[in-house]
Amino acid sequence: MTAPAIVLVADGPDDPAVATTLQAIARGLQGARKDLRIHLARLEGVKPPLQKVIASLVAEDVAEAVLVPLDLVSAADHAEELDTFHHSPDIHVVVSRPVGPASELLNILDERVREALHRGGALEIDGLVLGAPAGADVRGNSLLARRARQWSTHHRLPVQLAVDEGDGRVTAAAVASLRAQGRRHIAVGSLFLTPTPAYQSHAQAALRAGAIAVTAPLGDSDHLRHLILARYAFGAMELLDGIPTQLSVEDLDGEES
């Protein structure tokens, strides 16, 4: 039997820039793992819809698929649609944990910060904002706070966490808070996967508030591919034994530390 297919599942608007970024992620993963079938599906009525992607796998006689939610802020929960959509009984589908706010994402943020500083001609920073979209589950919010502390410890700089509702206000407030502490060279790390309107609002608000650099969305990277493949591996294990793979809080702490 062939390996289960990977279906990368993303929500977000029907926007060309978002679609281009997601397609680049799927292509990058396919290039790294030519032995696997990689597909991209979208939620909220955006093409390609999940149901159509699964139907195409059935038409190709694919018997198993793992859905990997491309959600960078939730640690365990996923869209209800992934559990309720109807598909052929000829394919066994499981949903993995979301990518989530894993510690590896800080490595991508470091790269993006360096790129943003280079673009702006900046030489140093004295404060950081970790910006992320709202909508995380309880565990995800806890991990986001931990990532901010880890980033602060790693760089020995104050880090403000900004979980933004999509209008940029929380990001602007985080920058303002650091400026009130006397910080004048503030960079904003954006834990956004694609350039959604929420990301654009977050980035513009940060610059208006006085940040000297704002990172681009994470997009495709080796670190992200490794995380996706790790989530896929757990889902594939469930397909093997038919028993959902459950991780305790202690297991998650160890994995995400």
pLDDT at 255 over 60: no
Number of Cβ within 10 Å of residue 233's Cβ equals: 12
Average pLDDT over residues 63-73: 97
Using a 10 angstrom Cβ sphere, with 0-12 exposed, 13-18 middle and 19 or more buried, the burial of residue 71 is buried
Q: Do domains 5-100+221-256 and 105-214 have the same CATH topology?
A: yes
Nearest Cα to 97, choosing from 257, 255, 223? 255
Contact call for residues 38 and 8 (beta carbons, < 8 A): yes
Total-model pTM: 0.91
pLDDT at 250 over 70: no
Per-residue confidence band for 240, with pLDDT thresholds at 50, 70 and 90: confident
Q: Which residues pair with 131 in a beta bridge?
A: 162, 190
Q: Which residues pair with 129 in a beta bridge?
A: 160, 188
Q: Give the architecture (CATH level 2) of 5-100+221-256.
A: 3-Layer(aba) Sandwich (3.40)
pLDDT tens-digit readout, 190-226: 999 999 999 999 999 999 999 999 999 999 999 999 9
Contact call for residues 53 and 7 (beta carbons, < 8 A): yes
pLDDT tens-digit readout, 126-146: 999 999 999 999 999 999 999
Contact call for residues 172 and 129 (beta carbons, < 8 A): no
Residue 257, pLDDT score:
45
Residue 85, pLDDT score:
87
Pairing of strands 38-42, 92-95: unpaired
Domain 105-214 grouped into CATH 3.40.50.1400? yes
Tokens representing residue 142 in the block: 């806890």
pLDDT at 167 over 90: yes
Domain ranges of the chain: 5-100+221-256, 105-214
Distance CA 165, CA 182 (A): 26
